[in-house]
């Protein structure tokens, strides 16, 4: 199974139409900033129905409007409503929702993703360089998401492919927790080109010591921050390079920009032998400012 991206569009400024055809359903999350509010509005305007959703990682359940569905029953829930095209608001939904929705509607549906860049991230007062963006108020312990968590053991270790963002603590925590026990090699995928010139340097500088610590056991890769196809291809390259004896699987860490998380979700959905790690951050209110470029990505699964 693989994924193609028939549409990777930049929507003209001010346009209310994001694709020539409307979607049957739009899935949206809770906005925490200006672009999020605009994104929800736009999603609503481009779909016949809108459903607010949220993944509850403690209860392994998915909240869809007023319904609460166990995630192993999501497919049955989706089967009840015939859809040809869905729209996922990636601006307000987090990685687990992108992952589970993508899996649910993977076949026979056009998966549309709406994403709006910010013009600025809210910043902590501190050194001028590198700037420290303040995006999350707290992180949870790394937890498995059913369906994406094959076991690691002495005979099967992991190659961690982590999409890198601004918050270096996410990757560091994962490495500190693992202590080299299961993760024996690290691939860091930096968002280059970034949304705005110089943002890639913030990300690189905040991770410089991780690169130094991990030393030669680190691969540095680059994929465009706002292009899921670029990240998908990058993950594909890493996946193909793994040993074929099953001694190492690909572990995916979605710590980067949302378009890279879309690619990571799609990659995990189409490669059953990969593992996903996530730390469920609590997003800071007003973590960004402004409404930047609006993207519409469409993905379709191929045999």
Q: How far is the CB of 3 from other proteins (least distance, A)?
A: 21
- 245 forms part of the interface with other proteins (CB under 8 A): no
Q: How far is the CB of 276 from other proteins (least distance, A)?
A: 9
Residue from 119, 149, 196, 236 that binds other proteins (CB under 8 A)? 149
Sort strands 294-302 and 2-11 into parallel, antiparallel or unpaired. Answer: antiparallel
Sort strands 157-164 and 183-191 into parallel, antiparallel or unpaired. Answer: parallel
Q: Among residue numbers 63 through 82, which ones bind other proteins (CB under 8 A)?
A: 72
- 144 forms part of the interface with other proteins (CB under 8 A): yes
Angle between helical axes of 228-240 and 258-270 (0-180°, round to 10):
40
- 52 forms part of the interface with other proteins (CB under 8 A): no
Q: CA-to-CA distance for 263 and 163, rounded, in angstroms?
A: 10
Long-range Cβ contact pairs of 270-275 (< 8 A, separation 24 or more): 270/1, 270/2, 270/3, 270/106, 270/301, 271/1, 271/239, 273/150, 273/249, 274/148, 274/150, 274/239, 274/249, 274/250, 275/148, 275/149, 275/150, 275/152, 275/158, 275/249, 275/250, 275/251
Residue from 15, 58, 129, 240 that binds other proteins (CB under 8 A)? 58
- 147 forms part of the interface with other proteins (CB under 8 A): yes
Angle between helical axes of 258-270 and 95-104 (0-180°, round to 10):
40
* Helix and strand element counts for the chain (H, E): 8, 17
Residue from 22, 52, 173, 300 that binds other proteins (CB under 8 A)? 173
Q: How far is the CB of 25 from other proteins (least distance, A)?
A: 24
Residue from 153, 197, 244, 245 that binds other proteins (CB under 8 A)? 153
Residue from 209, 233, 241, 247 that binds other proteins (CB under 8 A)? 209
- 128 forms part of the interface with other proteins (CB under 8 A): no
Task: Decide whether 59 or 65 has the Cβ nearer to other proteins.
Answer: 59
Query: Which residues here bind other proteins, judged by CB under 8 A?
Result: 58-60, 72, 138-144, 146-154, 169, 172-173, 175-177, 179-182, 209, 215, 277
């Amino acid at each position: 199974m693989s994924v193609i991206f028939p549409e990777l569009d930049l929507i003209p400024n001010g346009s209310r139409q994001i694709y020539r055809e409307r979607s049957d359903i739009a899935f949206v999350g809770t906005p925490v900033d200006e672009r999020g509010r605009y994104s929800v509005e736009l999603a609503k305007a481009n779909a016949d129905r809108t459903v607010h959703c949220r993944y509850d990682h403690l209860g392994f359940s998915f909240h869809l409007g007023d319904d609460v569905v166990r995630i192993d029953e999501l497919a049955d829930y989706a089967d009840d409503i015939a859809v040809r095209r869905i729209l996922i608001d990636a601006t307000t939904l987090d990685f687990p929702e992108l992952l589970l929705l993508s899996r649910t509607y993977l076949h026979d549906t056009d998966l549309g993703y709406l994403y709006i860049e910010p013009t600025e991230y809210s910043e902590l007062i501190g050194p001028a360089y590198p700037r420290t963006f303040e995006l999350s108020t707290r992180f949870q312990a790394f937890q498995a998401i059913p369906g994406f968590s094959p076991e690691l053991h002495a005979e099967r270790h992991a190659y961690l492919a982590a999409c890198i963002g601004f918050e270096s603590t996410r990757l560091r925590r994962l490495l500190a927790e693992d202590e080299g026990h299961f993760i024996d090699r690290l691939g860091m995928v930096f968002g280059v080109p970034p949304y705005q010139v110089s943002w890639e340097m913030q990300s690189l500088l905040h991770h410089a010591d991780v690169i130094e610590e991990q030393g030669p056991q680190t691969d540095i890769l680059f994929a465009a921050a706002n292009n899921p196809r670029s990240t998908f291809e990058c993950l594909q390259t890493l996946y193909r390079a793994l040993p074929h004896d099953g001694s190492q699987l690909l572990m995916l860490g979605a710590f980067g920009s949302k378009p890279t998380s879309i690619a990571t979700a799609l990659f995990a959905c189409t490669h059953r032998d990969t593992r996903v790690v996530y730390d469920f951050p609590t997003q800071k209110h007003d973590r960004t400012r402004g409404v930047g470029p609006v993207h519409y990505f469409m993905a379709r699964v191929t045999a």
